[in-house]
Amino acid sequence: MKQLKEVRSTSSVKKASCARALELGGFELLIDGVARQSVRLIAHIATFAGRSRLSGLTDQMFGWMVTALREECDLNHGVIQSMLALPRSTYFDRLSRRSESGHGVNLWLAILLQFQRRAPAPLSVEELAQILPRVDEHSLRGILADLQKQELIACATGGASNLAWERFAIVDAERVKTVIDCALEDISSMLLVAVYQNGPIGVSALAERLGLAVAEIEDGLLDLNDRGLIDVDRSNGAERWDCKGLDIAFENVEAWHAAVYDHVHAVVNAVIGKLRSEKTQACMEDEVGGSTFSYEVWPGHPHEKRVGALFKKVRAEGNQLLEELRVFEQSEAAKAKPPAAQRRKVVFYCGQAVHHQDES
């Protein structure tokens, strides 16, 4: 009997030691599921936006994956190469392609800006190719054709013998300015959220986080600074940007995309926090984690109104708590708060989806 107990004890130790290995199948399904849902989200956002850039996204996502595995998970290139099951030459070739590619977050915007700067003079495909050397001619022509369909530009050559020298010019300068101003405002909103999430942060690191060129965000940072929304610290020969608070108003339609980014960022960080705690189970007393509740109701159901109002109730309570914290921040008592290293930033998120049972 004693020997049997010892065998059971040894068996339980072995079971505990290989628990991670036994869970790999489940985690691979989790990775596939999260990737699939992420792709669905990207597809719907791109379709809704109408003209969002997706070219080159595969190489960019590969680069982001490698960066996260190296910088956040502390893995070396050899381990990452093995995880991706790529030959060494292919792995480093894709890394090289990714570092050499990228034209900013929106090629349509980059090209429209070139037309605006040159207006009223026209621009040829050849000239655009020289200004944007990393963009192939096929992509340029596709975007130019799209801008023509939107009646933002028009062909100004009258039948050029060399298509590379075919020239285009702005049709409606005011409309183009409106489109560009809206796009730049969108970038400013994303900049504000990114600075709030990652600050204090240098401009190069911020550009990398957003997938933009440094030149594309410098004006936006200065504008946000002039509006008092962000601060810059230029001590010790370095420039670092920070944001002490972020408030995206409910009625702010233009900043909706920034609010979505902030929400997704919060969800991802909550899951990462759970993984880092090595507690992949939920407890009622958890400070880090998330819960999903699904309720099935119908017209006349005794709890239909309570279920429908749950999101509104939680959002209102969260907003009220935020206002109370803001009032406290202005009080004398808040001046005695401990240094940043001793403070905690608690990010709470909530959401709700309503769909019919026959929807996918």
Band the pLDDT of 4: cuts 50, 70, 90: very low
13 within a domain of the structure (yes/no):
no
Find the helix packing angle between 173-198 and 256-276, rounded to 10°: 20
Q: Is residue 31 scored above 90 in pLDDT?
A: no
Residue 192: CB atoms within 10 Å: 23
More confident residue, 11 or 229: 229
- pTM, entire model: 0.69
Three-state secondary structure call for residue 85: coil
Look up the CATH number of the domain holding residue 218: 1.10.10.10
Residues 227-286: tens digit of each pLDDT: 888 898 888 888 899 987 777 766 666 577 778 888 898 899 888 988 888 777 778 888
16 within a domain of the structure (yes/no):
no
Q: Is residue 314 scored above 90 in pLDDT?
A: yes
Same domain for 216 and 141? no
Pick the last residue of a domain from 171, 200, 218: 171
Q: Is residue 10 scored above 80 in pLDDT?
A: no
Same domain for 225 and 151? no
8 within a domain of the structure (yes/no):
no
Most confident of 134-143, 162-171, 312-321, 337-346: 312-321
Pick the last residue of a domain from 66, 100, 134: 100
179 within a domain of the structure (yes/no):
no
Helices (H), the chain: 2-17, 19-22, 24-49, 57-67, 77-84, 88-100, 107-118, 125-131, 137-149, 173-198, 203-210, 214-226, 256-276, 304-329
- Nearest alpha carbon to residue 151 among 139, 168, 126, 164: 168
Q: Is residue 332 scored above 50 in pLDDT?
A: yes
Q: What confidence score (pLDDT) does residue 73 get?
A: 92
More confident residue, 3 or 259: 259
Residues 89-118: tens digit of each pLDDT: 998 888 876 654 444 446 778 888 889 888
Same domain for 275 and 310? no
Same domain for 162 and 89? no
Amino acid residing at 74: D
Q: What confidence score (pLDDT) does residue 252 get?
A: 64
176 within a domain of the structure (yes/no):
no
CA distance 115 to 152: 10
Q: Is residue 81 scored above 80 in pLDDT?
A: yes
Sign of the CA dihedral 151, 156, 159, 161?
A: negative
Same domain for 259 and 205? yes
Same domain for 256 and 193? yes
Residues 38-76: tens digit of each pLDDT: 998 988 888 876 656 676 678 778 888 998 999 899 999
Same domain for 38 and 93? yes
7 within a domain of the structure (yes/no):
no
14 within a domain of the structure (yes/no):
no
Q: What DSSP element (H or E) covers 153? A: strand 153-155
Same domain for 250 and 202? yes
What mean pLDDT, rounded, does the chain reach?
80
Amino acid residing at 166: E
Q: Is residue 20 scored above 50 in pLDDT?
A: no
Number of domains in the chain: 4
Q: Is residue 16 scored above 50 in pLDDT?
A: no
Domain with 71, as residue range(s), is 25-100
Three-state secondary structure call for residue 170: strand
Q: Is residue 21 scored above 50 in pLDDT?
A: no
Pick the last residue of a domain from 117, 146, 171: 171
Q: What confidence score (pLDDT) does residue 99 get?
A: 53
